[in-house]
Amino acid sequence: MPIFKSKSLSAYIFYCLGCFALLFLLSVFWILFTADWQAWNIGLTLVVLGLFLIMGIMGFKNKVMSSFDRALLHIEAVKVEDYNQYAKSEFKEGVTANFHNELTMLSEKMQTHKSQYDQHALLLYQLIDQLDTPMLVFNNKQKLTYANAAFSTLFGQPWQMYRLASPRLLGLVYTDKGWILPSKEQQWHVSQSEFIDSGERHQLLVFTNIDSAIRASQLNAWQQIIRVMGHEIRNSLTPVSSLAESLASKSVSAREKQALAVISERCHHLQDFVNRYSSLSQTLNLDLQHISVAMFVERLKGLFSQNDLIFANKSQWLWADPIFIEQVFINLLKNAYEAQATQVKIEITEKAQQTLIQIVDDGHGFANTDNLFVPLFTTKQQGQGIGLTFCRNIIEQHGGHIDMQNNPAGKKGMRVTLVLPSTPTGTI
């Protein structure tokens, strides 16, 4: 069992060398004493030798400890991710030199890894910017440090307005199933992953609109149905129509000609019906551009000059395809007036890189708003259930969304809300 347990290397060096110096001084004292030196000569000699021994011990201790001190400075630099500072060894060979060489190699390796992490993080941020689904980055202190332009579609303002905000401030709630966003009317699924940037662990939250996914699934199902039905109906109608026209040209009876003409007309009507429904599944080739709201309003007023149409414009431009967006307004206004509306008010405002359009009428509204956007569903006797589905398809391909609700209790009519990006994607 050791006599002395040192808590530090410097104490151990002092202990060992101190014991050696003490033994050396005792030996010198014994030799001088046996040589009959005078007491003052012995004392002076021991003092001089003691000073030399203390200086030697201190020099030895400083030489040994300096290697560790330099290594500690190197390690401190590594801790703050400064891999360009290297500690030089006091010795060119031996264990100490090898130790410092290993530290240098470790720094170089960590510098390489850091560069790779930085490149991956940069690529990740670039990818986040390119995607049109909201993506948020929180640091290890649960503070918002980055988001993409789609953030404004979810929270109504640029993410810079919420820099360093906590998830709670954004309405996010953490449950045993992960993050949820209960404050929004739309259903959002939140996916979570982690990555390292600048040595810190970050959380990446990706928001997926479940409503859009469900609608996409429903639309895909309708596309399959329409595709099959359209193929079969066209194959059946074409020969029927051709045969009816051929018989009508040979018939001499006016009644038969009239009956065959009706058959031919209904065949063409059914073919047109199928073609119109097939258009619901098509991806639109949009020509997006800045549209003057003033000119757009004047055109709508000209199309509905016989109706009471009121505008409240607080925005100068629309970012949209002029042909398709006009068709959306025409469909919605026709629906309003066919619902016996006497007045329709349209308000166009701009907020946080978004154009908000409110269309409010005083008609009879809808008894069931759950099926408004279901293809083939209609409450009109002559309706085909295409208009609203087509409108939603146009708005969503613009990168926006549409919502329709009956006015609050006590007020007749409906409120249609359109939200469109007010700038090209990626310029926010």
Nearest by Cα to 17 from 49, 47, 46, 58: 58
Q: Report which DSSP code applies to 104.
A: H
Whole-number Cα distances in Å, 19 to 4, 8, 15, 16, 149: 11, 17, 6, 5, 73
For 102, 113, 386, the CA distances from 120, given in Å and listed in that order, are: 27, 10, 46
Per-residue exposure over 31-51, b if at least 16 CB sit within 10 Å of its own CB, e if not = ebeeeeeeeeebeeebeeeee
Distance CA 19, CA 420 (A): 86
Contacts of range 80-83, beta carbons closer than 8 Å, 24 or more positions apart: 81/110, 81/114, 81/198, 81/199, 83/107, 83/108, 83/110, 83/111, 83/114
Predicted pLDDT at 231: 67
66-108 tens-digit pLDDT: 777 777 777 777 776 676 776 677 777 777 778 777 777 777 7
Closest CA to 357 of 374, 393, 332: 332
Q: Which residues contact 191 (CB under 8 A, 6 or more apart)?
A: 178, 205, 206, 208
Question: Tokens in use for 278?
Answer: 């097939």
Please say whether the structural domain 130-211 has been given the CATH code 2.60.40.3710: no
Q: 179: Cβ–Cβ under 8 A, 6 or more apart, which residues?
A: 167, 172, 173, 190, 192, 205
pLDDT at 373: 61
pLDDT at 370: 59
Phi/psi at 289 (nearest 5 deg)? -160, 165
Asked if residue 202 lies in contact with residue 195, where contact means CB atoms within 8 angstroms, the answer is: yes
- The predicted pLDDT at position 371 comes to 55
Domain boundaries, the chain: 9-109, 130-211, 213-281, 289-421
Report CA dihedral (232, 234, 240, 242) to the nearest 10 degrees. -150
The ranges of the chain with pLDDT < 50 are 1, 376-377, 380-385, 426-428
CATH H superfamily, domain 289-421: Histidine kinase-like ATPase, C-terminal domain (3.30.565.10)
Residue 114, pLDDT score: 66
Q: How far apart are alpha carbons 127 and 202 in whole angstroms?
A: 16
Asked if 344 contacts 419 with a C-beta cutoff of 8 angstroms, the reply is no
34-74 pLDDT per residue, tens? 888 888 888 888 888 888 888 888 888 787 777 777 777 77
The pLDDT of residue 323? 85
